[in-house]
């Protein structure tokens, strides 16, 4: 005895499966098309107010004369500081509406301050190898959020 479905059952299963696939595809397309629309037809409130930007003190203007032997390393670390700010601003945009009231401070500004402090310390060390190590650069690591 054959275990295969009789011909008329195969057609019924195939027809029902095809209809279900078409319905599911239509639902996915409609859901995608309507994603992000609010019930009042307006824009989402979170998109009207920007997430703000990260504002950090300028380190380059506070540095003493950089010896030629340290210039390449100082320049590289200054570029890292700029890149860190750009990444923090991107993360602000990507995470709008996430977390609680201290999310930006704990997830973006805190880690950014730690990264900046390390880069500023590397700058001071590289200058200190060839000249007097600059003092008072640590407060330049802290950044704020401007709206």
Cα separation, 42 vs 51, whole angstroms: 19
Query: For 96-128, how does the pLDDT look when each residue is reduced to its tens digit (9 = 90+)?
Result: 888 888 899 999 999 999 999 999 999 999 999
Looking up tokens 């200054």 gives 78
Looking up tokens 């380059």 gives 60
Query: For 48-75, how does the pLDDT look when each residue is reduced to its tens digit (9 = 90+)?
Result: 456 889 999 999 999 999 999 999 999 9
């Amino acid at each position: 005895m054959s275990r295969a479905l009789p011909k008329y059952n195969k057609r019924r299963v195939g027809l029902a499966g095809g209809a279900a696939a078409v319905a599911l595809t239509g639902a996915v397309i409609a859901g995608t098309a309507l994603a992000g629309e609010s019930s009042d037809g307006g824009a989402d409130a979170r998109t009207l107010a920007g997430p703000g930007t990260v504002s950090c003190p300028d380190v380059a203007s506070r540095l003493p004369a950089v010896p030629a032997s340290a210039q390449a390393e100082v320049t590289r670390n200054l570029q890292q500081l700029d890149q860190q700010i750009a990444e923090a601003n991107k993360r602000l945009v990507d995470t709008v509406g996430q977390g609680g009231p201290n999310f930006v401070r704990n997830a973006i500004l805190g880690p950014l301050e730690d990264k900046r402090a390390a880069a500023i310390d590397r700058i001071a060390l590289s200058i200190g190898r060839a000249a007097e190590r600059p003092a008072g650069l640590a407060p330049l690591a802290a950044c704020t959020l401007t709206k």
